[in-house]
Structure 1
Amino acid sequence: MMDGRKRYRFTVCWGEERDTDDTEGRVVHTSTERPAVEAIRALLPQFTGRIEQTPPRYSAIKIQGERAYDLARDGEVVELQPRPVEIHELTLVDQPDADHSVFEAECGKGTYVRALARDMGRILGCYGHISALRRTLVGPFTENDMIPLEQLEALCNRAASGEGSLADALLPVETALDDIPALAVTRADAARLHRGQAVLLRGRDAPQSSGTVYVTVAGRLLALAEIGNGELIPKRVFNLTGLTASSGRNERD
């Protein structure tokens, strides 16, 4: 899921670049220039598609085993190398005033929205940093699936008093796997996977299959597995009671 697409709604504040590329950092560049809406829209295609992006100095990127943000906090000059990222969509959705622009971006893994604000500000000649950021989609989950903090706190309080359960807020595990193919197996094969053993795939086209699947038995999630060389190899196995059998009659189900 975390490798899938993500969508963000974010506000760029023009006129200042900060060392963290957001409001928490120290101001390092300023400008009295403000970009015209037409100039912003004309710039967006340069940041759409597969581009090279340099991560922010304050990021989780590792440099010789150390996080970049730790090195930056210690005052070390960190030189991060550009890396390819995929930005599927980038849209200007609002311009509340001359100092602020609101965007929506849909992007792939590893994209830093803070770096988008920084780089757009530099090209527009006015500098910029993120002043608001909200993730509105990750994988199959949208804002409609989000639980407000107040509701979550109330649920925790009810659970602590024995009046409810945090499980009431949980979605089925399969919800997070809708972009992964499903593969049903017999109880006998499920037992083997449950023990960490590979299962030989049957069928004429089985050796040509490959990739990640989620495995089900009797309609319930059993494991995440990889298909390779005609075998189903378990990678993450979930503990299901009563749905697997290691010997006896159920082995032939």
Structure 2
Amino acid sequence: MTESLLLSDPQPGVRLLTINRPQRRNALDRATYGALGEAIAAADADEAVRAIVLTGAEGCFTAGNDLSDFQDTSDTGPSAGLTFLQALTACGTPLLAAVEGFAVGIGTTMLLHCDLAYAGAGATFRLPFAALGLCPEGASSYLLPRIAGTKMAAELLMLGEAFGPDVACDAGLINAVTAKDGALALALEKAGALAALPPESVLATKRLLRAHTRDAVSAALALEAESFHALRRGPAAQAAFARFFKKRDGAS
């Protein structure tokens, strides 16, 4: 584990994972991806853990991938983000998300792999891949059209405009919108309810719900990753990253 990920057990059977990089709006760097993947796998292997809740510290879910990692074009191995997403898809324990503040890029696409998700009023979602010279990831090119419809998926993924929790709910990314700062309380309530149910029944239900799309999701992750990392190393994406840091550093 690292200081960028906090682990706690707020109630019996519930493991809470809190992304803790508030100085970067909880953007995910390689170390945090690794810690998240390890923590999810460890919780999934622990029979005492009946539900896992993901959230972010200090009123922000995550601003997505730390773009400084994307500027490294020498990395040719499996990406830390893909390894994390594979840990999400492999997890048999119910996964819940509590979203406040920003949920950008993978901060939105990871919700497609959570069983339940809730967002506070005022949360902001965005899938800015095309604007950054990239393409969809997280199997979103497969899962989002499936749950939101092709027209809404195209709008969210191609235009990449920010949208609020009501749209996220309409798109099937979250279950419900809560009062501001109320998402974690509701997620923990639902996690506690799941933890109180017969574990064999809950695990079998999740397994059956995911069985019909498991192979397609795996294939989509691999296909997207191939295109994503080719584009990431390209001139359009690298120029977009440079503009982002110039704007950020000039404003700080």
Same fold (TM over 0.5): no
TM-score between the two structures when normalised by the length of structure 2: 0.20
Larger Rg: 1
